[in-house]
C-alpha cells in the first residue's frame, strides 16, 4: 500500500517529542486520525515484555525450558519451540514494518519503532531473546505515546507488538493470541486511519497479513483458544485475523507462505 503525505512544519524548530505528554502537531498525514493515543493500556491490546533474564514475569505461570530452547506451560501443556517463536516474530515484524512510514511521517527522526522491528527481525533470523527486544519494545511504546496522530500511534504500537511477539507465553489463554496477531491488527488500524477511517482498508490489510502467515504461524495459533472479545476496533481486527488464519485450508496455508 502506498502512502502520500503532506507535512506541515511547526516553524519553531522543535524535534520529535520523546516524552509521554502530547504536544502541538508538528506534521499531519493526509487522512490520518487526529486523536493521539496515550497510556500503556489505552488503545493497545499487547503490553511490552516484562520478562528479565533468568526470571519469570509476575503474571506468568512457571515454565520449563525445552531442549530446543523453547518454553512449555506445565499446567496447560502448551509447548513452544524457539523456532515457533521465531516464526511468530517474523510474521509480526513483516506486518509492522509495512506501516513504519506512517509513524515516521508524523515523527521524522524518531527511529524507535523501526529499531523495535529491527530487533524483532534479528531474533526471527537466529538471534536470541534479550535486552534489545525488551528495550526496543518499551521504547516503541513511548514513541506511540508521543505521537501526534492516532494513526502514527497505532503504527508505533504495531512495532512494539512485533518486538513483544518473541515473548509469547505458553499459556492456553485467549489473551495470548494478542501476542501473535497484535502487530498485524495495530498495523491494519493504522492503515485504515490513514485512509480516513476506512474499514475496507483495514480489511485489505488483514487479507495481506493472512497471506504473510506461514503454516507454522497458523499451527502455533491453533494451539491457543480463539481471540478474546473486546479491544474496540483493534480487537475486532485481531478477531478477523484469528478467524481468517484458522479457516485457511492446508493448501491455502502453503500458498500463503510461498
Question: pLDDT tens digit string along 76-124?
Answer: 569 999 999 999 999 999 999 999 999 999 999 999 999 999 999 999 9
Residue found under cell 517529542: 17
pLDDT above 90: percentage of residues in the chain: 64
d(CA 96, CA 251): 26
Query: In which band, very low, low, confident or very high, does the pLDDT at 23 lie, cut at 50, 70 and 90?
Result: very low
Half-sphere exposure of 85 (CA within 13 A, CB side): 26
**Domain membership flag for residue 54:** no
CB 7 within 8 A of CB 28: yes
Adjacent-strand bridge partners of 28:
6
Across 26-30, 31-35, 198-202, least confident range: 26-30
- How many structural domains is the chain composed of? 1
Terminal Cα distance for the chain, rounded: 20
Residue 1 falls within a domain, yes or no?
Answer: no
pLDDT at 66 over 70: no
- pLDDT of 193 strictly over 90: yes
Asked whether residue 12 is assigned to any structural domain, the reply reads no
pTM, to two decimals: 0.75
**161-170 pLDDT tens trace:** 999 999 999 9
Q: Give the range among 2-6, 139-143, 191-195, 227-231 with minimum mean pLDDT.
A: 2-6
Which residue in 55, 86, 51, 89 sits closest to 68, CA to CA? 86
Domain containing residue 238? 72-256
Residue 163 and residue 174: Cα distance in Å, rounded?
20
Residue 14 has a pLDDT of 33
Per the domain annotation, does 23 fall within a domain? no
Q: Report yes or no on 112 lying in a domain.
A: yes
**Model pLDDT for residues 228-256, shown as the tens digit of each residue:** 999 999 999 999 999 999 998 765 554 44
Between CA 17 and CA 26, with CA 21 as vertex, the angle to 5 degrees is: 40
Residues with Cβ within 8 Å of 219's Cβ and at least 6 positions away in sequence, in order, are none
Structural domain contains residue 244: yes
Q: Give, as one character, the DSSP assignment of residue 28.
A: B
Please check whether residue 44 lies inside any domain of the structure. no
Residue 33 belongs to some domain of the structure: no
Q: Using alpha carbons only, what angle is made at residue 165 by residues 134 and 85, rounded to the nearest 5 degrees? A: 110
Q: Identify the pLDDT of residue 54.
A: 29
Amino acid at each position: 500500500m502506498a502512502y502520500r503525505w503532506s507535512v506541515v512544519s511547526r516553524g519553531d524548530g522543535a524535534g520529535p517529542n520523546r516524552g509521554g505528554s502530547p504536544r502541538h502537531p508538528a506534521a499531519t498525514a493526509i487522512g490520518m486520525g487526529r486523536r493521539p493515543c496515550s497510556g500503556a493500556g489505552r488503545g493497545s491490546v499487547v503490553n511490552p515484555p516484562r520478562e528479565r533474564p533468568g526470571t519469570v514475569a509476575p503474571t506468568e505461570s512457571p515454565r520449563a525450558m525445552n531442549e530446543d530452547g523453547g518454553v512449555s506451560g506445565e499446567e496447560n501443556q502448551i509447548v513452544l519451540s524457539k523456532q515457533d517463536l521465531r516464526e511468530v516474530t517474523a510474521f509480526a515484524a513483516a506486518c509492522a514494518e509495512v506501516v513504519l512510514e506512517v509513524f515516521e511521517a508524523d515523527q521524522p527522526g524518531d527511529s524507535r519503532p523501526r529499531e523495535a522491528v529491527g530487533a524483532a527481525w534479528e531474533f526471527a533470523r537466529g538471534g536470541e531473546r534479550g535486552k534489545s527486544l525488551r528495550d526496543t519494545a518499551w521504547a516503541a511504546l513511548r514513541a506511540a505515546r508521543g505521537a501526534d496522530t492516532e494513526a502514527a500511534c497505532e503504527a508505533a504500537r504495531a512495532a512494539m507488538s512485533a518486538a513483544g511477539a518473541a515473548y509469547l507465553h505458553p499459556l492456553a489463554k485467549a489473551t495470548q493470541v494478542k501476542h501473535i496477531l497484535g502487530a498485524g491488527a495495530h498495523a491494519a488500524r493504522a492503515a485504515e486511519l490513514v485512509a480516513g477511517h476506512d474499514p475496507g482498508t483495514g480489511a485489505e490489510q488483514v487479507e495481506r497479513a493472512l497471506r504473510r502467515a506461514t503454516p507454522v504461524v497458523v499451527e502455533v495459533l491453533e494451539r491457543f483458544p480463539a481471540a478474546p472479545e473486546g479491544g474496540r476496533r483493534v480487537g475486532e481486527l485481531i478477531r478477523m485475523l484469528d478467524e481468517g488464519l484458522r479457516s485457511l485450508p492446508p493448501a491455502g496455508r502453503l500458498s500463503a507462505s510461498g
